[in-house]
Amino acid sequence: MIEFLKQPWPWYIAGPLIGLTVPALLIIGNKSFGISSSLRHICASCMPANIPFFKYDWKKEVWNLFFVFGIFLGGAIAINLLSNPNPIEVNPKLATELAGYGITNFNNLVPEDIINWQSLFTLKGFLLMVVGGFLVGFGTRYAGGCTSGHAIMGLSNLQLPSLIATISFMIGGFIMANLILPIILSL
């Protein structure tokens, strides 16, 4: 059983499990699935009440903070107890392409060649980690939610704004992965 947990789960197992969280949250507590709103709840609990964006009853949404903490805790347990000690298997063609960008270490899920403390203080690292993080945070608030909120919860509720947001996420991801990221990685 432990060996099964150490392997990546196929889409036909992981996808339905993720998809079942939507009806479970709706049935159990009439709650919407989404992750990005939890950052707003954390800020609202820590910020002074004179900032209008954070002036609401965040305690009604405390369940979301526990949900996100459970995701974090589950990830920490998975990394420490269930991680596969073998290097990540990468298609040889992809490995060749990544080597052209200086990415050759496949020991972890995160490419340590570009995502590390030393890289943070380079132009490439700053663009990827700081600017990228800001754009993701700004984008989720501007779009009224993150990919999980729109693509999983919003689409299951047949919301047109979620369809537009999900299409925009996909187009943006395609442009980033195929056009912008290669330029940044070649810096």
What is residue 171's predicted lDDT score, i.e. its pLDDT?
95
- How far apart, in Å, are the Cα atoms of 53 and each of 43, 48, 57, 91, 153? 10, 11, 11, 46, 23
CA distance 162 to 125: 31
Averaged pLDDT for residues 146-175: 88
Mean model confidence pLDDT for the chain: 84
For the residues of 72-129, what is the DSSP string, one character each?
A: HHHHHHHHHHS--SSPPP--HHHHHHHHTTT----SSSS-TTTSSHHHHTSHHHIIII
Least confident stretch, 42-56, 149-163, 168-182: 42-56
Answer yes or no: pTM beyond 0.75. Answer: no
Regarding predicted confidence, which is higher, 35 or 173?
173
Q: Which token pair is 17? A: 């499990």
Note the pLDDT of residue 115. 85
- Are 40 and 146 in contact by the 8 Å Cβ rule? The answer is no
- Indicate the pLDDT class of residue 26, thresholds 50, 70 and 90: confident
Sequence-ordered list of residues with C-beta below 8 angstroms from that of 161, at least 6 positions apart, any chain: 144, 150, 154
**Which tops the pLDDT comparison, 159 or 141?**
159
Over pLDDT 90: what percentage of the chain?
Answer: 16
| 64 pLDDT more than 80 | yes
Amino acid at 121: F
Q: Do residues 74 and 38 lie in contact, with contact meaning Cβ atoms separated by under 8 Å? A: no
Query: Residue 140 contacts by C-beta under 8 Å, 6 or more apart in sequence?
Result: 36, 146
pLDDT score recorded for residue 92: 93
Alpha-carbon Rg of the chain, whole angstroms? 19
Q: pLDDT at residue 1 above 70?
A: no
Confidence label for 180 from pLDDT (cuts 50, 70 and 90): very high
pLDDT interval class at 89 (50, 70, 90): confident
CA-CA distances (angstroms) from residue 167 to 110, 147, 149?
A: 26, 10, 13
Digit-coded pLDDT (tens) for 105-150: 888 778 888 888 888 898 988 998 899 888 888 888 788 888 878 8
